[in-house]
Amino acid sequence: MPPVQKEYSNLYLPGAIVLAGIIVAVGLYAGLSAGSGGGGGDQNQVAVDVRKVDIKNHPYLGEENAPVVVVEWSDYQCPFCKAVEIGHSQIPTEPAIPKIISEYVDTGKVKIVFKDYAFLGPDSQTAALYGRAIWDLYPTKYWVWREAMYKAQDDENGGFGDEASIVTLIRKISGIDADAVKARVASKNSEYQAAIDADKAEGTSFGIQGTPGFITGKTLLPGAVAFDQFKTAIDQQL
């Protein structure tokens, strides 16, 4: 048996290289999905109920007393969060949030609540802090700012996303005083950071391990999932 194994080892080598390449590629894809939420990673199977989620004082879209609540945990540096909210040129999935807004939020059926799961680096933390300040000072401008943040997104912690670049972006949005927002971040930094950390801990407790992650009703939707999955989960509650 040893001589046979040695004789044919050269024949097996090309196939082994190909197989190793496949394994590495799959590993990289899985790592990206788990880290930035492409498929949400291997989420823990935890029983969820949106009624148990703390949504007080969090940014939201829709009518305050809408019959259905969709809660999103996200990170402004996450490309899959961008994909599900406004679309991403390198991620082939149609953004679901605009459809949820047009079909359910604008008709008074759904409220979308936004929570932080800032885990991709220092720019994630900075953006989350500014999101809190925007909601505190200019709640009617929050969605405009949020869309602008995702449109400006580049590589994770790759340039855009530090305080200076966010302040520059805010200065371009009509109706927001960028200096006032920056001052609010400075004065409430510790309070905001504690709330950001609490959001992430809560999401983790519900089985969310990456971004984006959604809970509506008793359904956990991990990753940049298609609109049809949201529709099924929402319609079950209406």
Q: How far apart are CA 151 and CA 89, in angstroms?
A: 11
pLDDT digits (tens, 9 = 90+) for 30-51: 333 334 555 444 455 689 999 9
Phi, psi of 71 (to 5 degrees): -110, 130
pLDDT at residue 214 is higher than 90: yes
pLDDT band, residue 155 (cuts 50/70/90): confident
Domain layout of the chain by residue ranges? 50-235
Fold for domain 50-235?
A: Glutaredoxin (3.40.30)
Q: What is the residue-averaged pLDDT of the chain?
A: 85
pLDDT digits (tens, 9 = 90+) for 101-121: 999 999 999 999 999 999 999
pLDDT value, residue 154: 84
Q: Which residues contact 15 (CB under 8 A, 6 or more apart)?
A: none
Q: How far apart are CA 207 and CA 192, in angstroms?
A: 23
Q: How far apart are CA 119 and CA 171, in angstroms?
A: 26
Q: How far apart are CA 82 and CA 93, in angstroms?
A: 11
pLDDT value, residue 12: 33
